[in-house]
Amino acid sequence: MATPHITADVGEIAPLVLMPGDPRRAERIAKDILDDPKLVSEVRGIGAWTGTYNGTPMSVMASGMGIPSVCIYATELYRFYGVKRIIRVGTCGAMSPNVRVRDVIVATAAHTNSSLPHLFVPDASLSLAPSFSLLHGAGHAAKAVKDVPVHFGPIYSSDHFYLVKPATTEGLIKLGTLGVEMEATGLYATAMAEGGEALAILTASDHLFDPSQDMTAAERETSYQAMVEIAANTLLF
């Protein structure tokens, strides 16, 4: 069975999925960590690869950029492909002074300026959080990473890459927000709606207040080893 956005047959996508935003990064991750990765879908250039990780079936599939895009793919994976767990592995802009570029952030909550939460429950502001079991697993998996700092805390999912206002940023930092990205809110809300598990684990690729730390585009594609190691082992926890 295919969906409008995924051509894989049921069974060709594993119940455990790593989901970067960038299709090129998805391919690179799949070939780096999976044994015998097989391309099972490539609609609109959004690739999905399935293989095994430490003997367990696992898939890597891109989400594209932004909340609407990740909602499409996550919904179809949970609803039609029997996926149980999705971990977003992507980049974010660090905003906390305690986070440096190349550090890893495990998103314990996702604040947002998106209207998405109100689409699920009108007149209510949903608290968007990951599944406890994945968050607990990430705590254990992070202990094995010695050379990269790992931070646990809330992040901010913005609907507009270039429209994060200074007053908003200042308020978020005061509340302990670690970084800003564009997808975690969509993944967390979709997991809640579909009865799946979700978590976002991010690598800080730039810093809002210290551009001298920023990664190049090429570095963003490859500087993910610690993040992916934590995420893949968390899926197995």
User: Phi, psi at residue 101, to the nearest 5°?
Assistant: -60, 140
Note the Cα 88 to chain centre separation in Å.
2
User: Phi, psi at residue 59, to the nearest 5°?
Assistant: -120, 155
199, 198, 162: which is closest to 180 by C-alpha?
162
Per the rule left: phi > 0, alpha: psi between -120 and 50, beta: everything else, 23 is alpha
Tokens at residue 232, please? 């893949």
* List 35, 206, 210, 214, catalytic entry: 206
Residue 206 among the catalytic residues: yes
Residue that has been written with the tokens 């976002």 in this structure: 200
Q: Which amino acid is at 72?
A: I
Other beta carbons within 10 angstroms of residue 122's beta carbon come to: 7
Tokens at residue 81, please? 């492909």
- Compute the chain's Rg from CA coordinates: 17
Nearest-angstrom CA–CA distance, 75 and 59: 16
127, 110, 125: which is closest to 180 by C-alpha?
110
Catalytic residue positions? Answer: 206
